[in-house]
Each structure stands twice: as structure tokens, then as C-alpha cells.
């Protein structure tokens, strides 16, 4: 291979303590899966033995960059972090983080890392210039993500080392535990933090002086300049997120479409008011956008709180982790500074606040409605907006103490513990905290999270790309809140997202960009030296990955019942906001069947059909899953549609 890839994978077996450098798979495999999420899917499918549980030593934790990683392509810093999901237990867990880890890993000599086995005691991995060693991390265990980063840099004597680590949440095998890098970034979905914790792997640190070869540098430079221009032309996501991401323009946009989660999603109008209030608040604070490697967007930010009880506090939110909605707004907190203060608490624990936040907010709601009392809350007064109890609940949960024992298992388990009304009030998808905005007004996004074989988040499969246009044969959609065309739109968007997630860049550099598949295809050719990479091939790669992911899920026990495993609150029509009185529920089963059909899967079981897999060169996979009988049919899954008002 002449460029793009550095050519090596690092395999680390923590049970035996052995480290081996392997060559990347041959070109014909790379052409089918590229890198990032695609190649990680292939490796997980091939290597995780059937019957493995997420926290078993046999689970793999994979860090994978893509062929554009470390080049001057915009946002060439993507690192996919994948495993058998600890959040669901039967899907892949797919997360990404940005910052500097992915690119630095390539400069250190590796395209990716496969971690297997379990260490008897806490360790971290130090990779430098093509070499790696396992080091003792007993002194790091218990440290938060920022302290871990700083301590490791000092220990290895390399102040610019990139560090991916877990915090106390990962150590304690919490649901929602993430893998964090730099000060701002989180691989926040799929339970990678807990899987890393189960392996007793506190961190991976990397640094190196190597480079990434590019087959045709001059051509590559022209393409990346064109890409950077187009990223900021027209209605692109990069435009919206420029310089401080959601904190600068994002909250206003969210307010406009009323998708801000507030009070366990009970109060969309309250959420909208908070979105505008936070937007105004941020203008008073000192906000410094933080660029990830080669990223012109800089969606992460450092924020110095301007006023209120936390005046002067510095928060470091960024891409990946759920920001203030999961950590504060769902509990009805209204002081913006306190929202950031709480977000930082979750972040430093290495905890994607969506999962613990939605378990805690459910508890708040049940308490407010008088369904539970102080007897159930260890004496805590869980009134909307009571921020003081949240750090106490965080600590109890991390220690699995009292009510924390229940919260540790996430929102669905918490609802099941209380039963009854709690099941109707809970916000979860497939048991876990999704990318937490109130998606009811954008119900195709909610739908796509429900059916995603990678976990309920755009980090798994993104589906709020705008109209993808003719390059993707994007379907004509009916009016909002009609199911027609949504399944096909989901298919097209998933195919695009998974291809984008496999080339080594952040999705924010592709979303809404005109002619992006052609552009990234040309960038791939200029980087790797491939001569004939077409837009059709890009589409086929995305389709291959989603099919392999679904096959993976089917082998690990996925049934259509899982795609209807969605917390009651999502199905309730919102009481206010643009989706007032409207719900996805009456259409959900229909849409799932429609989706299975357009995917070329069995419409009743969601199992990919042999002809679909064969067309994608996945004959062996077809053989593997032919033996599996999915025990549940979609039509038989009990699914009660909550009462809908007349206009729905």
C-alpha cells in the first residue's frame, strides 16, 4: 500500500501480557471495510466468540482510525472505539472520539489497537514510535479523566502524548461509562468504558514522530482545500458548529425545533426556554473553541462561567459526551452555570451523562409525582432543580450504595425496579441512554436510534443528515410525522454514515456537504493510491457494514422485540412544542417492518436475507446466520400504543 494507512495493528492480550504488531488486513479486505467502524465491525464479527458477554475477557475493545486519519483532510482525527456493547449486550457498541488520539496513534505507528483478555491488576498501555509496553496503573485507579491524562503525560515524560482513558465510571463498570481523551472528548456510547474497565485497562497513551504517507500529495492538497471550502458552503453542520459547537448557535437551533430535554422530557416548552436562556448565558461567558487535530470546526469548548453560584468555574465540554441535557436539564436544573458544573462532574468521571442522567431524572419524576418517597431515595429530596443531590447520587451510584445500586444499571433497569408508572415515564432506547435530545419532534431520528444495530446514538448510526440529494438517491419524504419514506431515508443515511465513519474523519465534516461521497472518494484515492474508487463503491461499503452489524446482532441474540424496546416517554405525545400531541407510536411497528424490508432483511425477524448478504460478498456471513432461528416475530411482539389525542 502506498499511503493513507500506516499498515499496522497492535494486538494486546492483557491476560497473557503479550503485545504483537500485526499487519493490517490485505488490500482486498481494506477495500471492503476501509477502517474505523467498518474494519472494527469486521474484526468484532470474526473474533468475538458466540456467547461472549460484554465484560468477559473474550470481548474485544478496538480502537481504529481510518485511511484519511492524520492527513490534512479536515477533521482527520476520528478514532472509532468498538466492542460488544455493554449497554445492550447484543449489539455492537460503537463510539467515536476526536481530539488528538486517533491521529497521534497513527504518528506512533499504528492504525488501530485490538485489546483482548483481562489484566489481573490495573494497567495502562504506552505506545511510542512503533513500540508498546504494558505499565502498572495501580496509582492511577480512581483518578478522574483529567488527572489521569496529566499523570500519564508526566510518567511517560511526553507532554504531548495523547491519552485515552476511563474514569471511575469505567472502573466501576457503570452503564454509560465512556472512554475519554484530551480534556474534551468522549467515546460515549456502546459501553466501551465499562469494557475497558473490565479489562482493568485504565488508559492507552500514544505519541510518535512518524508520519502518514500520502500517495499523491499535490492532488491531496487540492482535494482537502476543496473539502474545507465546501464544508462551510451552504447549509452544512460545520457551519452551525463552528467555534464552540452547540454552545454558540446550537442551543438556539435546538430551541427552534423544540428538542431540548427538560424534566425527564415532560416539559418541551420548558426545554425550549432553557435552550434560549443557555444560549444567552454563553454569550456572557468566556468561551474558547478547542480544535481537534486538523479540525476547522472546533466544536469542543472551554467555558468560564460568568455568573451565578459557580462563577469562575471552568467547564470543558466537547463532542461525544452528552452535555448539559443529560447531566442537568433532565433533572430540571435551571441555572446554566450549575448545568455546566454538573456536566463537568459526569465528564470527569468518564461517564456519558445520558445513561445515569436519565436514570436519575426518572427518579426525580417519580418522586415529584409522589410515586416514590424519601424511603426509596435514601432520604434525598428529589425536587426538580435540586442540583445538590446530584453529586450525592453520582457518588452513591459509583459505589453501588443504596439507591445507587439500582441507578448503576441504567434507566430501563431503574424503571423495571419500580415498575408500573416508571415504565411509562422512563426515557431509554434498548435499555440505555440515547443521544439525549427530545427526538419526538424529529421522529425519524428517534426511529433510527430504535433500530440501530450499534446502539441508540448518532455515534452508532447517524440519521439526522439533511436531504442527501441525488448522490444518494434520497427518497421523497412525506410531510413531517408521516411514516412514508422514513425507512428508506434511514437506510440511505445509515449507509452514508457508516462509510463516513470508516474513512478516518469526523461526521461533522461530511454532514450537509455537497457531493461529499465523490469528494471523500477522491481524497481516499489520492491518499491510498487506489485508482478506481467510485461513489457506488462507497455506498456498497456502507451497506456491507450495516449488514454485517445486523448479522453480528442477530448472532448475539437480537430480535425484533429489541427494536421495540423503547422507554414509555418516547411514545407519549409531548405536552408542548412543535410535536405537541403527536407520537411515533402508532406507526412504529409499520416503520420497523418497512425498514427491514428496504434493508433486504426478513420483514418479520430483521435477519439479513441470504441474497442481500451474497450481493455484498458476505456469503460466509449468510451461512453463519442461516443456522440461527430468531425466536420472535415482529407481528407477535406485544406493543401497546399509549392513548393518542384525536389529532394524531
Partner 1 sequence: MVYMLDIDYIKCTGCQSCSVACSLKREKISNPLLGRIQVARWETEGLHVPIVCRQCEDAPCAQVCPVNALVRDSDSRVIEIDNNRCIGCRMCVIACPFGAMLVNPHSLKVMKCDYCHGDPLCIHVCQNQAIKYVPLTQSLYAKRMAGSRKILDSIAGTV
* Residues in touch with partner 1 (CB under 8 A): 70-72, 74, 76, 103, 107, 160, 182-183, 209-214, 217, 220-221, 224-225, 228, 232, 242-243, 288-298, 301-302
Nearest distance from C-beta of residue 56 to partner 1, angstroms: 36
Nearest distance from C-beta of residue 181 to partner 1, angstroms: 12
CA distance 512 to 104: 28
CA distance 376 to 373: 6
CA distance 603 to 157: 56
Assess contact for 436 and 322: CB atoms under 8 A.
yes
Nearest distance from C-beta of residue 226 to partner 1, angstroms: 11
| Residue number, 76 or 119, with CB nearest to partner 1 | 76
CA distance 85 to 558: 12
Q: What is the DSSP letter of 32?
A: H
Nearest distance from C-beta of residue 321 to partner 1, angstroms: 17
Nearest distance from C-beta of residue 343 to partner 1, angstroms: 16
Nearest distance from C-beta of residue 182 to partner 1, angstroms: 7
Please list, in sequence order, all residues whose beta carbon lies within 8 angstroms of the beta carbon of residue 163, skipping any fewer than 6 positions away.
Answer: 101, 148, 149, 152, 153, 181, 182, 203, 204, 205, 206
| Residue number, 301 or 474, with CB nearest to partner 1 | 301
CA distance 326 to 304: 20
CA 454-602-428 angle, to 5 degrees, is 35
CA 261-264-270 angle, to 5 degrees, is 50
| Residue number, 67 or 271, with CB nearest to partner 1 | 67
Nearest distance from C-beta of residue 183 to partner 1, angstroms: 6
Nearest distance from C-beta of residue 216 to partner 1, angstroms: 10
Please list, in sequence order, all residues whose beta carbon lies within 8 angstroms of the beta carbon of residue 343, skipping any fewer than 6 positions away.
Answer: 315, 317, 321, 323, 324, 327, 328, 353
Hey, what's the cell of 287? 468561551
Report the DSSP pairing between strands 314-315 and 300-304.
antiparallel
Q: How far is CA 237 from CA 270, 468, 512, 519, 579, in A?
A: 26, 13, 6, 17, 23
Q: How far is CA 340 from CA 281, 285, 329, in A?
A: 11, 12, 10
Backbone angles phi, psi at 136, to 5 degrees: -65, 135
Nearest distance from C-beta of residue 142 to partner 1, angstroms: 21
| Residue number, 170 or 289, with CB nearest to partner 1 | 289
Rg (CA), the chain: 23
Per-residue b/e over 333-347, b at no fewer than 16 CB within 10 Å? bbbbbbbbbbbbbbb
| Residue number, 297 or 618, with CB nearest to partner 1 | 297
| Residue number, 292 or 397, with CB nearest to partner 1 | 292
| Residue number, 76 or 338, with CB nearest to partner 1 | 76
Nearest distance from C-beta of residue 95 to partner 1, angstroms: 22
| Residue number, 297 or 585, with CB nearest to partner 1 | 297
| Residue number, 146 or 400, with CB nearest to partner 1 | 146
Classify 225 as helix, strand or coil.
helix
| Residue number, 210 or 308, with CB nearest to partner 1 | 210
Amino acid at each position: 500500500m502506498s499511503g493513507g494507512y500506516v499498515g499496522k495493528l497492535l494486538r494486546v492480550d492483557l491476560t497473557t501480557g503479550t503485545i504483537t504488531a500485526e499487519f493490517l488486513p490485505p488490500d482486498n479486505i481494506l477495500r471492503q471495510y476501509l477502517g474505523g467502524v467498518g474494519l472494527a465491525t469486521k474484526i468484532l464479527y470474526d473474533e468475538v466468540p458466540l456467547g461472549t458477554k460484554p465484560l468477559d475477557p473474550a470481548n474485544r475493545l478496538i480502537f481504529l482510525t481510518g485511511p484519511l486519519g492524520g492527513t490534512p483532510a479536515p477533521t482527520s482525527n476520528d478514532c472509532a472505539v468498538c466492542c460488544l456493547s455493554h449497554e445492550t449486550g447484543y449489539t455492537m457498541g460503537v463510539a467515536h472520539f476526536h481530539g488528538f488520539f486517533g491521529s497521534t496513534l497513527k504518528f506512533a505507528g499504528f492504525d488501530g489497537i485490538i485489546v483482548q483478555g483481562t489484566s489481573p491488576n490495573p494497567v495502562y498501555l504506552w505506545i511510542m514510535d512503533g513500540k508498546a509496553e504494558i505499565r502498572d496503573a495501580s496509582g492511577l485507579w480512581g483518578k478522574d479523566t483529567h488527572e489521569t491524562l496529566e499523570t500519564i503525560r508526566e510518567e511517560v515524560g511526553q507532554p504531548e502524548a495523547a491519552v485515552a482513558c476511563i474514569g471511575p465510571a469505567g472502573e466501576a463498570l457503570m452503564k454509560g461509562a465512556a472512554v475519554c481523551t484530551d480534556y474534551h472528548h468522549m467515546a460515549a456510547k456502546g459501553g466501551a468504558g465499562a469494557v475497558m474497565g473490565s479489562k482493568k485497562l485504565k488508559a492507552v497513551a500514544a505519541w510518535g514522530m512518524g508520519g502518514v504517507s500520502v500517495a499523491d500529495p499535490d492532488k491531496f492538497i487540492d482535494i482537502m482545500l476543496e473539502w474545507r471550502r465546501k464544508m462551510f458552503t451552504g447549509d452544512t453542520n460545520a457551519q452551525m458548529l463552528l467555534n464552540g459547537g452547540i454552545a454558540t448557535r446550537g442551543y438556539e437551533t435546538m430551541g427552534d425545533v423544540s428538542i431540548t430535554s427538560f424534566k425527564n422530557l415532560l416539559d418541551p416548552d420548558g426545554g425550549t426556554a432553557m435552550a434560549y436562556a443557555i444560549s444567552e448565558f454563553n454569550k456572557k461567558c468566556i468561551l474558547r473553541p478547542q480544535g481537534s487535530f486538523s479540525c476547522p470546526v472546533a466544536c469542543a469548548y472551554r467555558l468560564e462561567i460568568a455568573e451565578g453560584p459557580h462563577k469562575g468555574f471552568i467547564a470543558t465540554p466537547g463532542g461525544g459526551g452528552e452535555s448539559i441535557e443529560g447531566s442537568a436539564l433532565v433533572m430540571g436544573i435551571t441555572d446554566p452555570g450549575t448545568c455546566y458544573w454538573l456536566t463537568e462532574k459526569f465528564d470527569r468521571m468518564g461517564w456519558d451523562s445520558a445513561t445515569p442522567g436519565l436514570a436519575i431524572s426518572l427518579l426525580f419524576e417519580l418522586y415529584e409525582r409522589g410515586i416514590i418517597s424519601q424511603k426509596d431515595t435514601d432520604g434525598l429530596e428529589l425536587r426538580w432543580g435540586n442540583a445538590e443531590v446530584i453529586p450525592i447520587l453520582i457518588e452513591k451510584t459509583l459505589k453501588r450504595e443504596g439507591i445507587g445500586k439500582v441507578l448503576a444499571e441504567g434507566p430501563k433497569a431503574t424503571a423495571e425496579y419500580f415498575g408500573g408508572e416508571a415504565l411509562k415515564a422512563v426515557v431509554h432506547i434498548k435499555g440505555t441512554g440515547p443521544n439525549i435530545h427530545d427526538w419526538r419532534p424529529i421522529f425519524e431520528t428517534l426511529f433510527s436510534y430504535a433500530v440501530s444495530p450499534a446502539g441508540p446514538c448518532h455515534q452508532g448510526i447517524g440519521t439526522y443528515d439533511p436531504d442527501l440529494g441525488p448522490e444518494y438517491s434520497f427518497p421523497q419524504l412525506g410531510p413531517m410525522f408521516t411514516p412514508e419514506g422514513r425507512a428508506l431515508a434511514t437506510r440511505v443515511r445509515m449507509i452514508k454514515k457508516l462509510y463516513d465513519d470508516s474513512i478516518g474523519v469526523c461526521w461533522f465534516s461530511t454532514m450537509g456537504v455537497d457531493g461529499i461521497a465523490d469528494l471523500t472518494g477522491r481524497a481516499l484515492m489520492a491518499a491510498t493510491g487506489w485508482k478506481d474508487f467510485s461513489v457506488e463503491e462507497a455506498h456498497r461499503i456502507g451497506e456491507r457494514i450495516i449488514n454485517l452489524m445486523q448479522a453480528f446482532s442477530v448472532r448475539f441474540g437480537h430480535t425484533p422485540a429489541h427494536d421495540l424496546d423503547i422507554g414509555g416517554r418516547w411514545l407519549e405525545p409531548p405536552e408542548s412544542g412543535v410535536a405537541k400531541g403527536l407520537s411515533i407510536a402508532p406507526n412504529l411497528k409499520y416503520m420497523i417492518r418497512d425498514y427491514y424490508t428496504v434493508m433486504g432483511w426478513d420483514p418479520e425477524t430483521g435477519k439479513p436475507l441470504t441474497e442481500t448478504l451474497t450481493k455484498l460478498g458476505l456469503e460466509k456471513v449468510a451461512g453463519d446466520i442461516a443456522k440461527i432461528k430468531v425466536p420472535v416475530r415482529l407481528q407477535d411482539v406485544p406493543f401497546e400504543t399509549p392513548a393518542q389525542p384525536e389529532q394524531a
